[in-house]
């Protein structure tokens, strides 16, 4: 059985991706939560992760003597271990497309990442309106995402037909767009709804909404909470 180390479901977009792949394809794994500390540079989070892998970040997948600490590397490894499951599309052209758009998300969209951090519990639509007006780079990145989503084979389907690794990589974007209420085309809104209805995505969202932890350094738009507020 795999072991997957993740951080808070409300905030950790990187953790969400391999977790969704494992869940969506019914691969047996044990989830181990290492929550972020409420304040930066406090608690034992960094030490706990460093004890598992050398870069001190989550997610981390352990398969017996194999340790992987990058979300894309984890998903590639899972695809190799379970070729019968079609974690990547089976058709050559679709598989190449899925890898390209996953890698693009993995390394790009820096303005969306930095300005619209994942926060599933928060309603940040007013913040989203302001950011949309002020940040041309953010608008350009969302436009690019919409163009990627528009290439999916079926309007009410996933990015490459059936749910695959590429969809898992864009799931945190779906969460961001929902939290920040950024304007979307009808086609993009349909994809958001398709993703929301996926069972594994629903499980992640439900768990995120139940979390009690508040991480101040990941809350740039809501009032800081003191220890008294969190008690």
- What is the Cβ-side half-sphere exposure of residue 75, based on CA atoms within 13 angstroms? 27
pLDDT for 57 equals 95
**Cβ atoms < 10 Å from Cβ of 64:** 8
pTM assigned to the model: 0.95
Rounded to an integer, what distance in angstroms lies between the CA atom of residue 205 and that of residue 9?
Answer: 8
Rounded to an integer, what distance in angstroms lies between the CA atom of residue 57 and that of residue 46?
Answer: 7
Q: In the chain, what are the domains?
A: 2-85+212-230 (3.40.30.10), 92-207 (1.20.1050)
pLDDT for 227 equals 53
pLDDT for 226 equals 61
Q: Which two tokens stand for residue 174?
A: 């779906």
- Residue pLDDT tens, the chain, 231 long: 999 999 999 999 999 999 999 999 999 999 999 999 999 989 999 999 999 999 999 999 999 999 999 999 999 999 999 999 999 999 999 999 999 999 999 999 999 999 999 999 999 999 999 999 999 999 999 999 999 999 999 999 999 999 999 999 999 999 999 999 999 999 999 999 999 999 999 999 999 999 999 999 999 999 877 655 554
Distance of CA 160 to the CA centre of its chain: 18
Helix (H, G, I), strand (E, B), or coil: what is residue 5? Answer: strand
Q: Which two tokens stand for residue 133?
A: 């007006």
Measure CA of the first residue to CA of the last residue in the chain; give whole Å: 36
Contact call for residues 177 and 115 (beta carbons, < 8 A): no
pLDDT for 229 equals 55
């Amino acid at each position: 059985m795999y072991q997957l180390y993740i951080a808070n479901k409300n905030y950790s977009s990187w953790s969400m991706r391999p977790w969704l792949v494992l869940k969506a394809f019914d691969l047996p794994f044990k989830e181990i939560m290492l929550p972020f500390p409420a304040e930066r540079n406090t608690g034992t989070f960094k030490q706990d992760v460093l004890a598992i892998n050398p870069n001190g970040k989550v997610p981390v997948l352990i398969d017996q003597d194999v340790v992987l600490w990058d979300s894309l590397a984890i998903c590639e490894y899972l695809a190799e271990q379970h070729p019968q499951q079609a974690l990547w599309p089976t058709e050559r052209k679709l598989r190449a497309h899925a890898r390209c758009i996953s890698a693009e998300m993995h390394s790009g969209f820096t303005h969306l990442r930095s300005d619209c951090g994942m926060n599933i519990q928060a309603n940040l639509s007013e913040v989203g309106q302001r950011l949309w007006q002020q940040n041309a780079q953010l608008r350009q990145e969302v436009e690019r995402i919409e163009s990627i989503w528009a290439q999916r084979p079926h309007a009410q389907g996933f990015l490459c037909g059936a749910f695959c690794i590429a969809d898992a990589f864009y799931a945190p974007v779906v969460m961001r767009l929902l939290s920040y209420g950024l304007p979307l085309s009808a086609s993009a809104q349909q994809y958001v709804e398709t993703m929301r209805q996926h069972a594994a995505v629903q499980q992640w969202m439900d768990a995120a909404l139940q979390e009690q932890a508040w991480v101040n350094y990941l809350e740039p738009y809501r009032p800081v909470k003191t220890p008294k507020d969190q008690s």
